[in-house]
Structure 1
Amino acid sequence: MSPYFNIQLFHMDRKLCAAARYRLDWSIDRLAIQSGVSALAIEQYESGFRKLKPISLQAIAYAFEAEKLMFFPGQPVMTGGNVRGACPDPRLSSDYSQIE
């Protein structure tokens, strides 16, 4: 069994996503523009109505990382000075076309 079996992708759940938007004073539409994920998908994710594909979560995390936000399990959204590179650019992923 892989030691990475249960690692949560980017450590960002729906509540952290909303908290990060609040911290940046971003609307859902602004996050949609910055991440490439549809506003409807983000709204439904934050409300708990749906789960997002890993590539969509990666795109959201990448957009937040560009604003120096970072996520750790069990911690609130944090600001870092040099966090670029922690999350790979989703546009370089083979499944980028599946973004929601």
Structure 2
Amino acid sequence: MASLAMNHILERIALFQFTPTHCVQARAMLGWSVEQLSREAQVPVEDIQRFESQQEVADATRLALAYRFEALGLVFFPGFRPGRSASVRAAASESLERGEYAMAE
């Protein structure tokens, strides 16, 4: 049960730290289009466009975007541009499936 509670806390932190501006900046850092992010994060293009234009999207959508970028070694802090983690693993190119998130949609 503790791991479920920890997952919930980590998801709340990710939701607080990852902003629409971060999404735009992270795509630019990677040279990704909205369409490429859509494929990589398994999120519809329309949802990404809504999120980046400061409109409401489901928490699961925001987590999918944040986790995909984090899997590539990007880190997010409110008020700062995305940065690169100093501890990026070789597995960073692995694709995460939406089913791997603990949050229910």
Correspondence for 1:69:
74
CA distance in 1, matches of 2:78, 2:88: 16
CA contact (8 A) 1:58 1:90 kept: no
Report the TM-score when normalising by structure 1.
0.74
Correspondence for 1:22:
28
Point out 4+ residue stretches in structure 1 off by more than 6 angstroms. Answer: none
What does the per-residue CA deviation read over 1:26-65, in whole Å, with 9 as the maximum and x for residues that have no partner?
00011111111101110121122x2121111111011101
Distance 1:10 1:35, change over 3 A: farther
Distance 1:81 1:46, change over 3 A: same
Across the aligned residues of Structure 1 and Structure 2, the Cα RMSD in angstroms comes to 2.5
Segments of 5+ residues of structure 2 without an aligned counterpart are: 1-8, 90-96
- Tell me, yes or no, if structure 1 residue 9 matches structure 2 residue 8: no
Identity %: 31
Correspondence for 1:53:
58
CA contact (8 A) 1:10 1:61 kept: no
CA contact (8 A) 2:22 2:81 kept: yes
Correspondence for 2:99:
91
Query: How many correspondences in the alignment?
Result: 88
CA distance in 2, matches of 1:46, 1:81: 27
Segments of 5+ residues of structure 1 without an aligned counterpart are: none
Secondary structure of the structure 1 residue equivalent to 2:21: helix
CA distance in 2, matches of 1:9, 1:62: 10
The structure whose residues are more often helix, as a share, is 2
Secondary structure of the structure 1 residue equivalent to 2:80: coil
Correspondence for 2:46:
40
CA distance in 2, matches of 1:80, 1:11: 15
